[in-house]
Chain A
């Protein structure tokens, strides 16, 4: 029976395994996280004790409880700033994904174009973003536009170069197969090279989403708010100039929460995208 219908029998096995595994999964999860949590508790507790024992000034080193209180007191500002930052980061990220992938497809579809343009793409990448940020502000105005473009520029290159490497590393037997069946250039790109590059594209997504968050916060530093609502980077500059150290810490924490959250979401989407890939195929890449 198992020979006749392997699909059925494997799905049965999977189900069984799943219900059996749920306990072990919970247990191993607990084992995995319990140590880091312990470290966290010890660290935060030690910090709190240190502040109280030494009576160090709040504006130099706020205690964890001060940071928490500052976050709660400014929660509306903080959440608003987080929202502004994540919106800009998302826009910059989407731009870098769309333009990075299309740029890579363009470069990969012709050896001549690739040879002519790629050196300049690399060259552009080596210019530090801080150096060209003022030009971006002059061109696009202070505020959201400039911020999104800075985030885009930072995330663009990893997206482009990863996709390009992926597009150029298609298995030569598979390319022969497509030539043999008279596939057009477009068919080879769309049905073979792009899907085959997916693991590389996904790696690019993970890098770019992290960079986009960093890019936005840096951009908000440089480009200000230009009349719009400020994001975390702006909140940080304000808190710093007012020496609201506890709130400054809260903003920093919020920024890392954003970055991690964004990464986890992209990581999850990546897993879905690659669901039909086998690990062994991933390893080959």
Chain B
């Protein structure tokens, strides 16, 4: 069992978002996220998962309630470069090679070429793509592009990693091997917290230490389900009775 410290990293209380057009995307969300957790947000599309992420990164303001990240406002937290984001789409720049793509966050920060390349190579090693440094995104498969995208997120050594349906567009086999890799990377860095959006209940239970189950109309967290199963989990976890039960619990909340 991994021992992880318990500082509160993200605190949402009574958090709501009403868009200018009147849509209530999320209403009264309360959630305390502790350092080192792996939390999956699962729910049907349109229930406000992405909106919560956008508020955490400060891309969208919240309209009501409180939201603190490391005790700061979202904007301040983002400026400290400790929050990283992986989108469903790989969002790689087609005209830059893999290494330059991965080093981009550091380049924008003004880190020297030598330093940022060294960091890029470190994280590419981590995702098993050390041999692709000078290749262009178009030369990579979908799964490899997603790995590069994850490497880019890790390059700033973030304390908080947000992933919005990152494996949604991948085939099941690639998806499972990436899940495995992600868990490995997360375990190596005990202080990194991962928030992961998915609409796949199996993926949520397999990955997370806690599942935040969201329901629409208006978007809210209906239930937090702990997954008390030790890491590293390995494929056998998927076939245990506990796994089945937890999947059942989550699905029950979603069906309501």
Pick from B85, B89, B93, B156: contact of A192, CB below 8 A: B93
Chief secondary structure at chain A's binding surface? helix
Interface membership of A151, Cβ < 8 A: no
**A–B pairs, 28, beta carbons within 8 Å:** A4-B131, A6-B139, A7-B131, A7-B134, A10-B139, A174-B91, A174-B93, A176-B59, A177-B87, A179-B59, A180-B57, A180-B84, A180-B85, A181-B81, A181-B104, A181-B105, A181-B108, A181-B156, A182-B81, A182-B108, A187-B108, A191-B108, A195-B93, A276-B94, A276-B95, A277-B94, A278-B137, A281-B138
* Residues of chain A from 1 to 25 with CB closer than 8 A to chain B in the complex: 4-7, 10
How many residues of chain B get a CB closer than 8 Å to chain A's CBs? 28
Q: Are the CB atoms of A181 and B94 closer together than 8 Å?
A: no
Residues of A within 8 A of B134 (CB): 7
Complex formed: what's the CA distance from A171 to B88 in Å?
14
Q: Quick one: given A6-B139, A180-B57, A182-B78, are A173 and B108 in contact (CB under 8 Å)?
A: no
Residues of B within 8 A of A241 (CB): none
- Hey, what's the 0/1 contact readout for A155-174 against B, CB within 8 Å counting as 1? 00000000000000001011
Tally A-B pairs: CB < 8 A: 65
Complex formed: what's the CA distance from A53 to B78 in Å?
84
Q: Are the CB atoms of A277 and B95 closer together than 8 Å?
A: yes
Q: Are the CB atoms of B135 and A195 closer together than 8 Å?
A: no
Complex formed: what's the CA distance from A173 to B93 in Å?
11
Q: How large is the interface on A (under 10, 10 to 19, 20 to 34, 35 or more residues)?
A: 20 to 34
- Hey, what's the 0/1 contact readout for A267-285 against B, CB within 8 Å counting as 1? 0000000001110110000
Q: Are the CB atoms of B131 and A181 closer together than 8 Å?
A: no
B3 to chain A, nearest CB (A): 31
* Residues of chain A from 179 to 201 with CB closer than 8 A to chain B in the complex: 179-183, 187, 191-192, 195-196, 198
* Residues of chain B from 135 to 165 with CB closer than 8 A to chain A in the complex: 135-139, 156
Q: Are the CB atoms of B91 and A173 closer together than 8 Å?
A: yes
Interface membership of A178, Cβ < 8 A: yes
* Residues of chain A from 182 to 225 with CB closer than 8 A to chain B in the complex: 182-183, 187, 191-192, 195-196, 198
